[in-house]
Amino acid sequence: MQKFTYTIKDEEGLHARPAGLLVKCAQKCSSKVTIECKGHSADAKRLFAVMGLGAGKNDQLAFSIEGPKEDTDCATLKDFCTAHL
């Protein structure tokens, strides 16, 4: 299992657009991707669940990535966060 954390820099937090992009990115990964934030966890491939985290600016997202391709998937998600969140 791979893990990393990321602190949200976007002013509006994980709002509709970035959440949509994040879910799209996660859906392309073959691994199981879970996000934990403020004591709640969500399947990163499900939009309502990710939006339901209500993650705002400066909140920390803890990613867990599990599967045969977890290394590359982890890198993909990291790049995505830096570029979009």
Partner 1 sequence: MVKIHGIGASDGMIMGQLVLYQPDKVKVEKYAVEDAESEIQRLKEAQQEAVNSLNKVYLQSLKRLGEKDSMIFQIHMMMLQDEDYTNSILDKIRQENVNAEYAVQETGKEFAERFAQMDSEYMRGRKADVIDISRRLIQCLAQKDGTKFCLDEPSIIAADDLTPSETMQLEKSKVLAILTRNGSRTAHSAILSRTMGIPSVVNLGDDFQKLRDGMNVIVNGTSGDVLLEPNEAAQNTYQQSREEYVRNRNELKQLLGKKIVTRDGRVMSVNANIGRPTDAEAALENGADGIGLFRSEFLYMERDSLPSEDEQFHAYQQVLQKMGDKPVIIRTFDIGADKQLPYLDLPQEQNPALGYRAIRICLDRTELFKTQLRALFRASAFGNLKIMFPMIISVEEVRKAKAMIEEVKAELSKEKIAFAPDVKIGIMVETPAAAVLSDELAKECDFFSVGTNDLTQYTLAADRTNGKIAGIYNQRHPAVLKFLEMTAKNAHAAGIPFGICGESAADPELTSFYLKIGVDELSVAPPSILGLKKRALTMI
| Of residues 39 and 48, the one with the C-beta less far from partner 1 | 48
57-78 b/e (C-beta count within 10 Å ≥ 16 → b): eeeebebbbeeeebeebbebbe
- Segment near partner 1 (CB under 8 A), from 5-13, 29-37, 62-70, 73-81? 5-13
Contact status: 5 vs partner 1 (CB under 8 A): no
**Closest to partner 1 by CB, 1 or 16:** 16
- Residue 40 in contact with partner 1, rule: CB under 8 A: no
Q: Are 44 and 55 in contact (CB under 8 A)?
A: no
For residue 32, give the DSSP letter.
E
